[in-house]
Amino acid sequence: MKILLANPPYRVSLNEREERFFIRAGSRWPFSVTKCKNEKSEYMPFPFYLAYTAAMLEKEKEKEEGIEVFVEDSIALNETEEKFLEKVKKINPDVVLFETSTNTIRHDIGLAKKIKEFNGNAKIVMAGFHVTALARETFDISGQAIDFLLLSEYEFNFLELLRTLKRGGECSGLEGIAFKKGDEIIINPVKSLLDISKLPYPARHFFPSNGNNDLSVYWDGFCQTKPAIQMHASRGCPFRCNFCVWNQIMYRNEKYRPFPVNYICDEIESVIKEYGAREIYFDDDTFTGNKEHVLDFCREMIKRGLHKKVFWSAMADFMITDEEMIRTMKKSGCIGLKFGVESGNKDILNHIGKPINFNKLKINTSLCAKLRIKTHGTFTFGLSRETRKTMAETLNLAKSIDCDSVQFSITTPFPGTRYYEELKKEGRLLSEKWEDFDGNNNCVVKFDDFNSEFIVDFYKKATGRWLRHKLKQPRWFWRQLYYLNRSRSWQGNSFIFKRMRRALILVLSR
């Protein structure tokens, strides 16, 4: 049985030189970027679900003969659709798994139909938050292109499906699977919470494709050294923001689950040995979701001497995080922390379920600045009850905290979230054309205080306004030179030139 795990390409030509390029597998916030056609995206998340699935299939291969695993991450490889289909045709797989998303679902169904045209016997399986939230609707628009949908966390679901297909068994009793039986759509929801400690390490050696194990294609611009390897130390989040996709749909608002400390540190030792990792980036929902777990991890890093071998950074939270944690993280090798703020208005934060103490936020960012832990705050425009005034408050809060970089986005109410249901009930969705659900380009929400063009314009100018404000602060400016110099020693002078060029463009934008 040949099994293909795919992250297929989706790109829309804008002109002879540029295109819209869609990022999905591995991203909690699927979106598109505008880039040159011949250049790779500067941001590329590692597709963890596909990699954990590949690792499980590899273990299954040790027990069962006749299993061949193929991986094709066409997005990381910057491949065209024609190239992807050419590779699929050559592999001639029995089963193809796509990880899809809301803004790519119709395109992915089209790709599935093209695969069926030259390989009618292939079973097409799709996974991800969109098909989990809208399984029935996905089958309604797909015709005969899709055979199965995997719901929520899909590593074990997919393995059980393959075992059943291999022995010619009945799929009706499989948990976390949706499929069509004649004209009837069968949806078997996930009942049990996945024990992530039973997952093998991601099979990174398959990525981005068989025979091409160049992990440098996966890159988060927040990282300061190379090679930088992306890892997970947990799944889920203790908070319940109404717009958050993975926590509500993929994890069903279940409890926060960290991997065991020894598991994490063993994996770090593995990627140091196999890939020469100089930095680990924990691309978690919330790395600092449990204080004792973080402290235990830091102590184990120091005990093993790993803090002398590798730096690390993480997507964190600054409400649980306190001074003891920050100082201990610094001692264990931490050089960077991202943190989600979302809004500068407390009423909005209370409504969406995001507990933020602005004073603690400022204390933590100031302490990180003092310890030379680089910080990156994330904010979004277009949350519930947003107005022109609250958007200005968000930008002003971003300016007031002593963080080193920021990320602004447009809130996308993905199907299956409480925010989506709230908007649908109130009749405030401007579009249900799934291609429009892109937090980097569009606003699909109707607001009383402004139109969608206003919020897109405000979003596009926000980073430049923030940067012009920060450049007036000498301490912030000299700290950025320190970080640039730290990165230069690992990434070279070209990295400095790119950063300075991007900063100049933002400063000049109005």
Q: Which residues contact 489 (CB under 8 A, 6 or more apart)?
A: none
Residue listed under structure tokens 């925010």: 419
Cβ atoms of 30 and 20 closer than 8 Å: no
Q: Is residue 406 classed as helix, strand or coil in its secondary structure?
A: strand
Query: Residue-wise pLDDT tens for the chain (510 aa)?
Result: 999 999 999 999 999 999 999 999 999 889 999 999 989 998 999 999 999 999 999 999 877 778 999 999 999 999 999 999 999 999 999 999 999 999 999 999 999 999 999 999 999 999 999 999 999 999 999 999 999 999 999 999 999 999 999 888 888 889 999 999 988 999 999 988 899 999 999 999 999 999 999 999 999 999 999 999 999 999 999 999 999 999 999 999 889 999 999 999 999 999 999 999 999 999 999 999 999 999 999 999 999 999 999 999 999 999 999 999 999 999 999 999 999 999 999 999 999 999 899 999 999 999 999 999 999 999 999 999 999 999 999 999 999 999 999 999 999 999 999 999 999 999 999 998 999 999 888 999 999 999 999 999 999 999 999 999 999 999 999 999 999 888 877 666 666 566 666 666 666 665
pLDDT tens-place string over residues 336-369: 999 999 999 999 999 999 989 999 999 999 999 9
The residue count of the chain comes to 510
Which residues, in sequence order, are bridge partners of residue 207?
Answer: none
The whole-number pLDDT of residue 500 equals: 64
Report the predicted TM-score, pTM, of the whole model to 2 decimal places: 0.95
The whole-number pLDDT of residue 402 equals: 96
The whole-number pLDDT of residue 508 equals: 61
Helices marked H in 254-312: 261-275, 291-304
Smallest CA-to-CA distance from 134 within 100, 162, 107, 159 is with 100
Q: Checking DSSP bridges between strand 184-188 and strand 177-181, what pairing results, if any? A: antiparallel
Pick the CATH number of 2-188 from 3.40.50.1980, 3.40.50.300, 3.40.50.280, 3.40.50.880: 3.40.50.280
d(CA 155, CA 150): 9
The whole-number pLDDT of residue 207 equals: 97
The whole-number pLDDT of residue 149 equals: 98
Fold for 220-508, please state it. pyruvate-formate lyase- activating enzyme (3.80.30)
The whole-number pLDDT of residue 109 equals: 97
483 φ, ψ to 5°?
Answer: -65, -40
Domain-by-domain residue ranges, the chain?
A: 2-188, 220-508
Q: What dihedral do alpha carbons 73, 79, 81, 85 form, nearest 10°?
A: -60
The whole-number pLDDT of residue 168 equals: 87
Q: Is residue 141 classed as helix, strand or coil in its secondary structure?
A: helix
d(CA 343, CA 413): 16
Which residues, in sequence order, are bridge partners of residue 338?
Answer: 315, 376
Tokens of 395: 């930008």
